[in-house]
Copies of this chain bind each other. A is one copy, B any other.
């Protein structure tokens, strides 16, 4: 499984309608923030009917995620060089950089929205969060398989623990995004708290 393969495929129509909707979505979000991003506003600006929009997208989170990927891409892919630990670090650096750019503002808006609407929460989980965790889980599992990490580590839990401080940072500002944070997080999770003979 390549790291790319776990990212959910794009949805929605191709061509003119898709372009009109995604361009309008971007303009709305960038000019007035995610809280101004409603399907009604999208209909008005894109001149695509509500029926057509709902034929192709389940909800506004789905449109926003397509817009985000179209306009800003996804967190950068990590090359195969170095230890698994160093690749996890680079993967978290890419995620943190992504959060610090325009996509981070969109993600914050979608996640805010998701607190009040379970359907939006399910969309962002399926489309963004689960794929990001899957990349990390895949890397942790490789570290276990290649005996770089201990054999009884829980790769799924560890993937959650690795990404959680970055999502917390995105949504609460803590811990602050610093260049050293990915290295510090990975080191803390690698070494652990217990006292071991040096």
Interface residues of A (CB under 8 A from B): 33-35, 85, 108-109, 111-116, 121, 124-125, 129-130, 133, 140, 143, 147-151, 153-154, 157-158, 160-161, 163-165, 167-168, 171-175, 184-185, 188-196
Contact = CB atoms under 8 A, between A and B. Distances in A.
A174 B121 CA distance: 11
Nearest to A163: B168
B150 A193 contact: yes
Contacts of A189: 161, 188-189, 192-193
A5 to B, nearest CB: 20
Kindly list the 3 A-B residue pairs having the minimum CB-CB distance in the complex, ordered from nearest: A192-B192, A164-B164, A112-B115
Contact of A150 (B113, B164, B195): B195
13 contacts: A33-B116, A35-B116, A108-B115, A111-B172, A149-B194, A150-B195, A150-B196, A157-B188, A167-B168, A168-B168, A171-B171, A190-B193, A192-B192
B125 A172 contact: yes
| Number of copies of this protein chain within its complex | 2
B164 A188 contact: no
Contacts of A171: 111, 114-115, 167, 171
A115 B116 CA distance: 13
Contact of A192 (B115, B140, B147, B193): B193
Contacts of A195: 147-151
A134 to B, nearest CB: 12
A143 to B, nearest CB: 7
Contacts of A85: 193
Contacts of A172: 111, 114, 121, 124-125, 129, 167
A183 to B, nearest CB: 11
A163 B175 CA distance: 11
Contacts of A133: 174
